[in-house]
Amino acid sequence: MKRKELAVAFGLIFGLAVLGYLFYWASPGWKNSIVWRSVFFESLLLLFVFLWNLVILPRWRSARTLCVGSILFLTGALADLCDNFFQQPRWQNWIVEDLFLALGAGLMALGIFFWVREKDRLLAQIARERDFEASLMPKLSHDLRVPLSNLLGMTDLVVENPKFLEDRARRWEYLEVVMRGSKEMNLLIENILETHRMKSGTITLSPQELSVASLLDESLRDFQYQAKRKELSLVKDYPGPDLPLVADGPKVVRIMQNLLANAVKFSPKGGTITVKANGENGKITVRVVDEGPGMTAALSAALMDGQPAAASTGSSGAADSFGLGLKVVREFVRLHGGRLWIEPNSPHGAQVCFSLPQAQPKSP
């Protein structure tokens, strides 16, 4: 449990104890009424539970609504109980008691409604995650098997025929296959590990001052071999090193690697992939533009919502899934306080864009 939550809990307990003590000495009927005391302390306990829920679940609209409703309802109920001990004007009974009781009951009913909706939304999100993982396992095994099979095939060929590598051209071809396969498997394994860290909540940022151009150049160098294999042109469209950024360098590189991997996968042979970057209004915006089949509005919305989706066809003519890559990209962009979106590329293709603030906090 976090220190802030413990501090708030002890503060609430202390405040309720002080309030009860003041009521004990302020009301002449308090000392002689067991019912008064039991109802009051039960009301304070209920109020404490709702306030505690507000601290634990600050993002839940239902918790906030139930807290406000319970405070109003308990205020009206306590004002009604005070009629037995204090003389109150009629306008106070109408305004404080009746109005607060009605508003409190209404807000508590609204909070229950919000709670049901939030519960259904969380259950639907869990179901989507389960379906995503189930549909992803065959794709992961295929993506790992292809480069591994290439490596094993080339290794068997060298073992059976040691003179195979004596030719310089064949030696370079062999090294390219090994390097390409190793990088593909490494990226896939890193995405699996990052997904696990996302679920466990152990991802942290280590921001430092960086050059956007250097990060993009490093990412493009990693895909020279993949692009060469499909005869793709990698085009740079961004300024020089005078475009600074405070961010977690390895995670920004991972963002670019996943976007470039998808661009290479869906681009046709002989196509062009363009990487653009510019800075304005305190933000760095990067675009990875391809000439592939593009994305429909429904597909873009599904991807931005974290749902598993597949493009109509990849360059190989078969349906290809976006897999873990875009999920990792979306989470890393969110941790940096940025935004991820998809735009169409005229006349065909897609632009996957993300923007990051130039100044980053020390932790997410």
Angle, vertex CA 147, rays to CA 152 and CA 130, nearest 5 = 125
| Per-residue CA distances from 26 to 23, 30, 41, 45 (Å) | 5, 8, 16, 20
What pLDDT, on the 0 to 100 scale, is given for residue 326? 82
Give 284's contacts (C-beta < 8 A, 6+ positions apart).
212, 243, 245, 277, 278, 355, 356, 357, 358
What pLDDT, on the 0 to 100 scale, is given for residue 318? 38
Nearest alpha carbon to residue 211 among 236, 247, 176, 237? 247
Give 112's contacts (C-beta < 8 A, 6+ positions apart).
62, 66
Query: Do 27 and 153 fall into the same domain?
Result: no
What pLDDT, on the 0 to 100 scale, is given for residue 355? 92
Q: Please state, in angstroms and rounded to a whole number, the distance separating the CA atoms of residues 140 and 151.
A: 17
What pLDDT, on the 0 to 100 scale, is given for residue 29? 52
What pLDDT, on the 0 to 100 scale, is given for residue 9? 60
CATH assignment of the domain containing 225: 3.30.565.10
Query: Do 53 and 139 fall into the same domain?
Result: no
> Whose structure tokens read 């305004």?
95
Query: Do 190 and 107 fall into the same domain?
Result: no
In the chain, the amino acid numbered 312 is S
What pLDDT, on the 0 to 100 scale, is given for residue 354? 93
Query: Do 121 and 141 fall into the same domain?
Result: no
End-to-end CA distance of the chain: 18
Per the structure, the count of domains in the chain is: 3
User: Do you know the residue count of the chain?
Assistant: 364
Predicted confidence (pLDDT) per residue in 214-272, tens digit: 889 888 888 887 788 788 999 998 876 677 888 888 888 889 988 998 888 888 888 99
| 362 within a domain of the structure (yes/no) | no
Cα 162 from chain centroid?
50
- Domain boundary (159, 174, 200) is at 200
| 270 within a domain of the structure (yes/no) | yes
Query: Do 219 and 293 fall into the same domain?
Result: yes
Which residue range forms the structural domain that includes residue 250? Answer: 208-357
- Domain boundary (171, 200, 229) is at 200
| 214 within a domain of the structure (yes/no) | yes
Query: Do 157 and 260 fall into the same domain?
Result: no
Burial 21-50 (b: 16+ CB within 10 A, else e): eebeeebeeeeebeebeeebeebbeebeeb
| 88 within a domain of the structure (yes/no) | yes
What pLDDT, on the 0 to 100 scale, is given for residue 285? 92
Q: Please state, in angstroms and rounded to a whole number, the distance separating the CA atoms of residues 153 and 168.
A: 19
If you write DSSP's letter for every residue of 251-292 in order, what string do you get?
Answer: HHHHHHHHHHHHHHHHSPTT-EEEEEEEEETTEEEEEEE--S
| 364 within a domain of the structure (yes/no) | no
CATH assignment of the domain containing 151: 1.10.287
- Domain boundary (183, 200, 217) is at 200
The pTM (predicted TM-score) of the whole model is 0.59
What pLDDT, on the 0 to 100 scale, is given for residue 74? 67
Nearest alpha carbon to residue 46 among 115, 108, 136, 102? 108
Return the SS3 of 209: strand
What pLDDT, on the 0 to 100 scale, is given for residue 114? 80
If you write DSSP's letter for every residue of 226-238 in order, what string do you get?
Answer: HHHHTT-EEEEES
Helix (H) or strand (E) holding 351: strand 350-357
Query: Do 17 and 107 fall into the same domain?
Result: yes
> Whose structure tokens read 């002890």?
10
| 363 within a domain of the structure (yes/no) | no
Q: Which residues of the chain have pLDDT under 50?
A: 1, 85-86, 311-321, 361-364
Predicted confidence (pLDDT) per residue in 74-105, tens digit: 666 666 655 554 455 555 566 666 677 777 77
In the chain, the amino acid numbered 55 is V
